Amino acid sequence: MRTTAATVFILALLSNSAAQTAANYVKYVNPLIGTQRMGHTYPGATVPFGSVQLSPDTDQQPHNIGGKYNKDAYKYCAGYQYDDTEIVGFSHTHFSGTGHSDLGDFLIMPTVGPLQLEPGAKGDAASGFRSAFSHENEVAEAGYYKVKLDDDNILAEMTATTRVGFHQYTFPASNDSHIILDLMHGIYDYADKNVWTFARVENDHTVVGYRQTNGWARTRTVYFAMEFSKPFVSYGFKEFGRQDYKGFWRKFDQTKNFPEIAGKQIRAHFDFKTAKDEKIKIKFAVSPVSTAGAMANLRAEIPDWNFERVRNEAQSQWNKELSKVAVTTLDEGEMTNFYTALYHAMLSPTVYMDIDRSYRGLDQNTHSAAGFTNYTTFSLWDTYRALHPLLNIIEPTRNRDMIRSMQAHYDQSVHKMLPVWSHYANENWCMIGYHSVSVVADAIVTGNLTGPEAIRALESSARTARTKYYDGLEWYMSLGYVPEDRNSSSVSKTLEYAYDDWAIAQAAKKLGRQDIYDEFIKRSGNWRNLFDDSTGFMRPKDSNGRFYAEFDPLKTEGQGFIEGNAWNYSLYVPHDVPSMIEKMGGRQKFAAHLDELFTMHLPDEFFAETEDITRDGIIGGYIHGNEPAHHVAYLYNWTDAPWKTQERVRMILKHQYRPTPDGLGGNDDCGQMSAWYLFSALGFYPVAPASGQYAIGSPIVKTAVLRLENGRTLTIEARDQSEDNVYASRVTLNGRELDRRYLTYSDIASGGKLVFQMSDRHP
Amino acid sequence: MRTTAATVFILALLSNSAAQTAANYVKYVNPLIGTQRMGHTYPGATVPFGSVQLSPDTDQQPHNIGGKYNKDAYKYCAGYQYDDTEIVGFSHTHFSGTGHSDLGDFLIMPTVGPLQLEPGAKGDAASGFRSAFSHENEVAEAGYYKVKLDDDNILAEMTATTRVGFHQYTFPASNDSHIILDLMHGIYDYADKNVWTFARVENDHTVVGYRQTNGWARTRTVYFAMEFSKPFVSYGFKEFGRQDYKGFWRKFDQTKNFPEIAGKQIRAHFDFKTAKDEKIKIKFAVSPVSTAGAMANLRAEIPDWNFERVRNEAQSQWNKELSKVAVTTLDEGEMTNFYTALYHAMLSPTVYMDIDRSYRGLDQNTHSAAGFTNYTTFSLWDTYRALHPLLNIIEPTRNRDMIRSMQAHYDQSVHKMLPVWSHYANENWCMIGYHSVSVVADAIVTGNLTGPEAIRALESSARTARTKYYDGLEWYMSLGYVPEDRNSSSVSKTLEYAYDDWAIAQAAKKLGRQDIYDEFIKRSGNWRNLFDDSTGFMRPKDSNGRFYAEFDPLKTEGQGFIEGNAWNYSLYVPHDVPSMIEKMGGRQKFAAHLDELFTMHLPDEFFAETEDITRDGIIGGYIHGNEPAHHVAYLYNWTDAPWKTQERVRMILKHQYRPTPDGLGGNDDCGQMSAWYLFSALGFYPVAPASGQYAIGSPIVKTAVLRLENGRTLTIEARDQSEDNVYASRVTLNGRELDRRYLTYSDIASGGKLVFQMSDRHP
């Protein structure tokens, strides 16, 4: 059917009406979702992909104590836990949803009364500068956060631009008001994480400095510049760390009104007299490069003291981004789920360069991002699955800049590797695989990365995958699998390397590089080497080629896997599902296997081993709270019962995503959990990114309009959508029935209309 | 008398013959002078004012142990002690002659045989990578150093450019040769001085990295890039420090052939197979800014591997500088004294910027030195006295760039102060006063700093001198003196502030700034407030204006002085000698007082308190080894017995400067001791820099030709010069008898001929 003028008119109307509601998408975002239990999101203020995440921290727990891991640290990965009743202060950098952590730089806390320079003990607000608060007096919006600090009756509000956090504190009348700047505070900190800190009081309202840490990022420095709206009347510092040698600085009384300090553990205070309801505002800029860069960022992004204007602009930015996918749903709760997921999907990677394009590179030199925006915080083991594929659809320009940032990382890497898990000019090597190559291949295969830079990115991918000393790759390349006796989590690594290799091959095919294609398509079959016919699971081998005798497919630990057991991980052959199914005994047996996974009971002893998720994060033995099985519900599409994909997807959407603080069943993982939701809510999912295909599922939205960068729109309708009508009995694309169980990238990018006829019956 | 054509011809001849011998001045330089006992000079290779001082370190002693000062550290201020019998290695940065220390960055040591990554214990060369050596196998020249390392029979040679050290090691045949790079080594190091170090092996012959320390300079980072002439076959690192959190780097075996490491305490080794007499060369560049900057410096300054060419160029540079003052002397020993002093006077301040003009500023930001060469290492308490006045004569352009560097320091200073004692983008606040202002004033008064930048420098000087919280200045400004009960060393501070204030006033007068003149000429009289008529000495007061009751003019400690007792320090009114003499009872009484100083016996108990000097460093009670009395011998010029100045000066020249390793009676102090020698050897001395006057003394040279930057030459002749003829019975300038006891800057800068008629009789 050709698109008629009438259709175009209707589409235009739809699109227009969505645009008119755009002003209200922010109201559906609830940043508190995921702040309870395992979501590890933060509720504070930030703009899309912003460098600053200005957010309350409810406690600080060291990552380890005396060299031993402190398990209490884990829930503070994003600094905030909903169940806590106190706020320690507001810091400027936070990861969203990670399962390991860092950051929490530059804590600010307003207080009244006798100066307290210790945060105090949890549960005892009076013991330090921490303050009690209650959720009743708390407002968390996209780009804005407000809370009343009960201890001293101070109203704290905050908003942000890309590089500047904007604080507004409404004080009571007091001759003894303070604003504390804590350079010791951090997330996942421990005794010696602060390598060095430095601060200078430039004048009676301006402070600059930096914090250098050795944590998840081994060698990380963040610079700052802050300005107060009102001059302080006095100020001081205290050093809490040991410093053997003070030198001739002993000449000075450095504790009071001395404008320059450096050391490992420092807290500063700035003192004011405040009238009743007087507002003291702070602009706090960060830079990856220098204090001069931070000051330039501050001046460029917030030239005045108009808090409301900055807040409005932050929220306008959010509306603009959120309106790229305009949906209607059955109820408001789902609207909240959707737009909060979209919000979470637009928090990271984060911009990592000054207003003048300077940034710190992986080689620790200062570089200029010529022709692209430089990003950091690549949680690639998570985000290659759905977040980057989503950005490749709704934000292809930004996703390309992220790839350019990865290429810069490669260029600056002494290993000549694309990032594994990188943040703040550091490779932290977290998790496994080399999934940058999947992000690159997805962009190449879909035509979003072309020309010489595509060739370079392909070659960089190939070289990354040939780094022999990386995580078992030498054996993988010589034996065809990673042997567990040489390198643990060997099955997970083998399977993910095989997928990544296939992704490289797809990019090579697209770019006509037969040499690279041949090399990597061969490697992509390596998953076969660990399939154990006797059990029907993937199973670790030793370096002599023998399967390990001890094997329990329910166990996660010591079985060759990471963040997943054999039940979940064995299904990780997203790039060759038909062959996997064949190995597993054919379509029927495979479907029954999936049924068992979704309906079995995972005994507590095995659940206890699964990291990062709550009990709600599992369905039967299917673990949604971790990523390795994120594609699994869609595998029914390769069996004779694709309707089971639809059923399972709707079940997961319903149970794993709820519009409440505890609404996420596991870590949001820099937007990957949310991106799974977003794809699935729209009715399709990239089982194998870089295939250019998206498996059909079951949408939870009623309608959706994707406003694409190419000017086209894809309109999605789920006709007769309801709680019960979870089956898509018929799918048409531009009026023509879809005779395959997937969309192509071209189907989406061409725009048009995708209609799901929903039903409560399956075939 | 007008200069005749014949005179010009003779001068030209003289000048020409001096130029012909220029090629040989290097032969008179003996860098070993001052390496024994208290000189604190280093014997290694450097170019004039070079950033790299590549020199052997004979031991490393921590500055303090468990928070307590370790007195054994002191003799290693320059890393090398002549009496030692082992060399630990060759590091790239050294101060010359300081009495406190830092640096010693990046120690390189070649070894053969089983790898040793500990330096081992002093006196037990086999216990580590240190090696025995003997002075018989050692050659130290300006710009070149050679030594045989006895343990492994390795010949070590080194030379340098401004920013690159060039090593050449001649190995024996071995399958087990190593070059160690020690990032832990340092001078005045202690447990936690290393804040962070970072290294990357870029390829099989290139390494880059940095070392960040917290020592005398509180926040100092030096970056490096090194290239080997031959690829290493393997390499490794070992971390000797504690690092609680290793993160996911545990994935890798980082000890062997892993190209990236960071931590607090690291040593690396690079392994080679060497044939008999095979040379392995290393180019090692430093940068204040980045590893990229270091690499650019390396490539720009030494593009090839021609060691001999670089050595020749280094020595040509030295000849060019040394030939600015062409002298003849009575014997070769004195030639060595003279040219070694001139060499020591041209070691610091050192160039502190990359080849592209980038440097790290005091604010820790990267700046570009637009229109000047940026320098660091300003030992101003010492060098304002004679070193900068000397440079203001023989290197006025360079001295102006040093002032521009001080101005940049001021601009980047949060205190808005010119440097006190600064090095490597840090103010270390060592010693007392604000003597930058004297250096500035000297250049302004003599016409070498003019126009708007002179005005700025003057205003910066004035603002520096008004920094209330600096070292007693608040009281000095309100009471007219520093009270000892508020701030120790109060007399020394008061006297030096008063001189500095007078210097500011002189510059203000020259520039027509009556306001500043009035303010500071008033302050310059503050020395009067501490003169005690009852004892005839300067004496500390408390804040109520009462002299301290306990007072011993022979004691150094606890008497209100620093590095000097009342006998020496009370004479520190260089800017108003006549008034001081009047206060002290008139000319005759004053001359008798000076006589007593030079002939008294300083009991051992008081000598023990004098720092930085050997017993040889004193004459009677006159302490030449420290600076406060450096002008004292010239004070006889204000009495009726100026011949005593001549006698004392010759005595000091003879006894305090000898052409032997132990030839310096005290710390050379970044060239100040040497500059005293140079001025005095030429026959005049700047008692009050910024006066534009140089008191006449007694030259020790026979002839001298000063080749000035303005194209003129000043020729000095000491007629009938001999050991005994120490009195200048007549002094003529351009044939006219000098009817005053000083030269003016104009007398010198105009060029011409200065003749001293020497005699063994005084009037």
* Closest of B441, B455, B399, B332 to residue B24, by C-alpha: B332
Which is it for strands A713-719 and A752-759: parallel, antiparallel or unpaired? Answer: parallel
Assess contact for B507 and B441: CB atoms under 8 A: yes
Average pLDDT score over chain A: 94
Does position B756 have pLDDT exceeding 70, yes or no?
Answer: yes
Distance from CA of B77 to the nearest CA of A (A): 15
Q: What is the pLDDT of residue A123?
A: 94
Distance from CA of A89 to the nearest CA of B (A): 25
Does position B713 have pLDDT exceeding 80, yes or no?
Answer: yes
B243 with A200: Cβ contact below 8 A: no
Task: Tell me the C-alpha distance between B440 and B451, whole Å.
Answer: 13
Over residues B473-497, the pLDDT tens digits come to 999 999 999 999 999 999 999 999 9
In a mutational test of the B interface, the residue from A198, A204, A214, A474 whose CB has the highest number of chain B CBs within 10 Å is A214
Distance from CA of B72 to the nearest CA of A (A): 16
A188-197, B207-216, B409-418, B732-741: least confident range: A188-197
Q: What is the pLDDT of residue B606?
A: 78
In a mutational test of the B interface, the residue from A413, A414, A415 whose CB has the highest number of chain B CBs within 10 Å is A414
Q: What is the pLDDT of residue B611?
A: 62
Q: Closest residue of A to B290, CA-based?
A: A365
The mean per-residue pLDDT over the stretch B234-251 comes to 87
* Closest of A54, A87, A20, A30 to residue A323, by C-alpha: A20
Which residues does chain B have within 8 Å of residue A218's beta carbon, measured at their own beta carbons?
247, 249, 262
Q: Closest residue of B to A204, CA-based?
A: B414
CA A489 to chain centre: 23
B429 with A218: Cβ contact below 8 A: no
Q: What is the pLDDT of residue B19?
A: 43
The mean per-residue pLDDT over the stretch A574-595 comes to 97
B258 with A196: Cβ contact below 8 A: no
DSSP letters along B209-276, please? Answer: EEEEE-SSSSSEEEEEEEEESS--SEEEEEE-S--S--GGGGGS-TTBS--EEEESSEEEEEEEEE-T
Q: How many CA atoms lie within 13 A of B365 on its CB side?
A: 25
Distance from CA of A235 to the nearest CA of B (A): 15
Percent of chain A at pLDDT > 70 equals 96
The mean per-residue pLDDT over the stretch B559-587 comes to 96
Task: Tell me the C-alpha distance between A419 and A435, whole Å.
Answer: 8
Does position B211 have pLDDT exceeding 90, yes or no?
Answer: yes
Which residues does chain A have within 8 Å of residue B210's beta carbon, measured at their own beta carbons?
364
* A396-412 helix and A451-464 helix, angle to the nearest 10 degrees: 50
Task: Find the CB nearest B252 among A215, A218, A469.
Answer: A469
B243 with A214: Cβ contact below 8 A: yes
A262 with B219: Cβ contact below 8 A: yes
Distance from CA of B556 to the nearest CA of A (A): 19
Interchain CB contacts (distance < 8 Å): A and B: 124
Which residues does chain B have within 8 Å of residue A212's beta carbon, measured at their own beta carbons?
195-196
Helix (H, G, I), strand (E, B) or coil at A252: coil
Does position B8 have pLDDT exceeding 90, yes or no?
Answer: no
Radius of gyration of chain B (CA): 26
Task: Tell me the C-alpha distance between A595 and A635, whole Å.
Answer: 11
- Identify each DSSP E strand in A584-656 by its residue range: 618-619, 622-623
B243 with A192: Cβ contact below 8 A: yes
B290 with A190: Cβ contact below 8 A: no
Which is it for strands B713-719 and B752-759: parallel, antiparallel or unpaired? Answer: parallel
Over residues A617-651, the pLDDT tens digits come to 788 999 998 899 999 999 999 999 999 999 999 99
B291 with A363: Cβ contact below 8 A: yes
Over residues B606-642, the pLDDT tens digits come to 777 666 666 777 889 999 988 999 999 999 999 999 9
Domain map (residue ranges) of chain B: 5-320, 324-759
The mean per-residue pLDDT over the stretch B2-14 comes to 44
User: For A5-320, which CATH class?
Assistant: mainly beta
pLDDT level of residue A10 (50, 70, 90 thresholds): very low
Task: Tell me the C-alpha distance between B189 and B720, whole Å.
Answer: 52
B245 with A64: Cβ contact below 8 A: yes
The mean per-residue pLDDT over the stretch A38-47 comes to 97
Task: Give the DSSP H or E segment for A129.
Answer: none
Please indicate whether the domains covering B5-320 and B324-759 agree at the CATH topology level.
no
Assess contact for B238 and B452: CB atoms under 8 A: no
The mean per-residue pLDDT over the stretch B724-742 comes to 97
CATH 3.40.50.800 fits B324-759, yes or no: no
Which residues does chain B have within 8 Å of residue A421's beta carbon, measured at their own beta carbons?
248
In a mutational test of the B interface, the residue from A364, A368, A431 whose CB has the highest number of chain B CBs within 10 Å is A364
Classify residue A48 as exposed, middle or buried by CB count within 10 Å of its CB (0-12, 13-18, 19+): buried
B366 with A366: Cβ contact below 8 A: yes
Assess contact for A105 and A92: CB atoms under 8 A: yes
A245 with B201: Cβ contact below 8 A: no
DSSP letters along B101-162, please? Answer: -----SEEEEEESS---S---TT-GGGSS-EE--GGGEEEETTEEEEEETTTTEEEEEEE-S
Task: Tell me the C-alpha distance between A676 and A383, whole Å.
Answer: 10
Q: How many CA atoms lie within 13 A of B288 on its CB side?
A: 32
Percent of chain A at pLDDT > 90 equals 89
Over residues B30-45, the pLDDT tens digits come to 999 999 989 999 999 9
Distance from CA of B583 to the nearest CA of A (A): 32
The mean per-residue pLDDT over the stretch A84-88 comes to 98
Amino acid identity at A107: L
B258 with A469: Cβ contact below 8 A: yes
Q: Closest residue of B to A195, CA-based?
A: B195
* Closest of B460, B464, B459 to residue B420, by C-alpha: B464
Over residues B645-669, the pLDDT tens digits come to 999 999 999 999 999 999 998 999 9
pLDDT level of residue A247 (50, 70, 90 thresholds): confident
The mean per-residue pLDDT over the stretch A325-352 comes to 98
B414 with A67: Cβ contact below 8 A: no
Q: What is the pLDDT of residue A445?
A: 98
Q: What is the pLDDT of residue B603?
A: 84
| B162-178 per-residue burial string, b: 16 or more CB within 10 A, e: under 16 | bbbbbbbbbbbebeebb
| B725-734 per-residue burial string, b: 16 or more CB within 10 A, e: under 16 | bbbbbebbbb
CB contact set of B396 (below 8 Å; sequence gap of 6+) = B443, B448, B709
Q: What is the pLDDT of residue B244?
A: 67
Which residues does chain B have within 8 Å of residue A196's beta carbon, measured at their own beta carbons?
195-196, 212, 214, 219
Which residues does chain B have within 8 Å of residue A258's beta carbon, measured at their own beta carbons?
469
Which is it for strands A537-538 and A693-696: parallel, antiparallel or unpaired? Answer: unpaired
Which residues does chain B have within 8 Å of residue A292's beta carbon, measured at their own beta carbons?
363, 365
Q: Closest residue of B to A360, CA-based?
A: B290
Distance from CA of A205 to the nearest CA of B (A): 13
Percent of chain B at pLDDT > 70 equals 96
> What does pTM read for this prediction?
0.95
Does position B12 have pLDDT exceeding 60, yes or no?
Answer: no
In a mutational test of the B interface, the residue from A204, A207, A218 whose CB has the highest number of chain B CBs within 10 Å is A218
Alpha-carbon dihedral of residues A436, A438, A441, A446, nearest 10 degrees?
-120
Over residues B546-556, the pLDDT tens digits come to 999 989 999 98
Does position B10 have pLDDT exceeding 50, yes or no?
Answer: no
Per DSSP, helices labelled H in B465-513 are: 473-479, 490-510
* Closest of B660, B719, B654, B712 to residue B681, by C-alpha: B654
Which residues does chain A have within 8 Å of residue B258's beta carbon, measured at their own beta carbons?
469
A219 with B196: Cβ contact below 8 A: yes
B245 with A214: Cβ contact below 8 A: yes
Task: Find the CB nearest A414 among B251, B260, B364.
Answer: B260
CB contact set of A312 (below 8 Å; sequence gap of 6+) = none
Q: Which residue has the tokens 């508020």?
A: B486
| B233-266 per-residue burial string, b: 16 or more CB within 10 A, e: under 16 | eebbbbbeeebbbebbbebeebeeebbbbbbbbb
DSSP letters along A607-624, please? Answer: HTT--SB-GGGEETTEE-
Both structure tokens of A683: 């009715």
Q: Closest residue of A to B470, CA-based?
A: A252
Helix (H, G, I), strand (E, B) or coil at B719: strand
Does position B750 have pLDDT exceeding 80, yes or no?
Answer: yes
A262-276, A321-335, B20-34, B68-82: least confident range: B20-34
A252 with B469: Cβ contact below 8 A: yes
CA B97 to chain centre: 6
Which residues does chain B have within 8 Å of residue A249's beta carbon, measured at their own beta carbons?
218, 429
Task: Tell me the C-alpha distance between B282 and B232, whole Å.
Answer: 12
Task: Find the CB nearest B291 among A190, A251, A364.
Answer: A364
Q: What is the pLDDT of residue B22?
A: 47
B471 with A190: Cβ contact below 8 A: no
ipTM given for this complex: 0.94
- Identify each DSSP E strand in A507-583 by its residue range: 531-532, 537-538
Which residues does chain B have within 8 Å of residue A64's beta carbon, measured at their own beta carbons?
244-245
Q: What is the pLDDT of residue A5?
A: 45
Both structure tokens of B391: 């440079």
Q: What is the pLDDT of residue B23?
A: 57
B428 with A247: Cβ contact below 8 A: yes
Q: What is the pLDDT of residue B546?
A: 97
Which residues does chain B have within 8 Å of residue A426's beta carbon, measured at their own beta carbons?
none
Over residues B381-398, the pLDDT tens digits come to 999 999 999 999 999 999
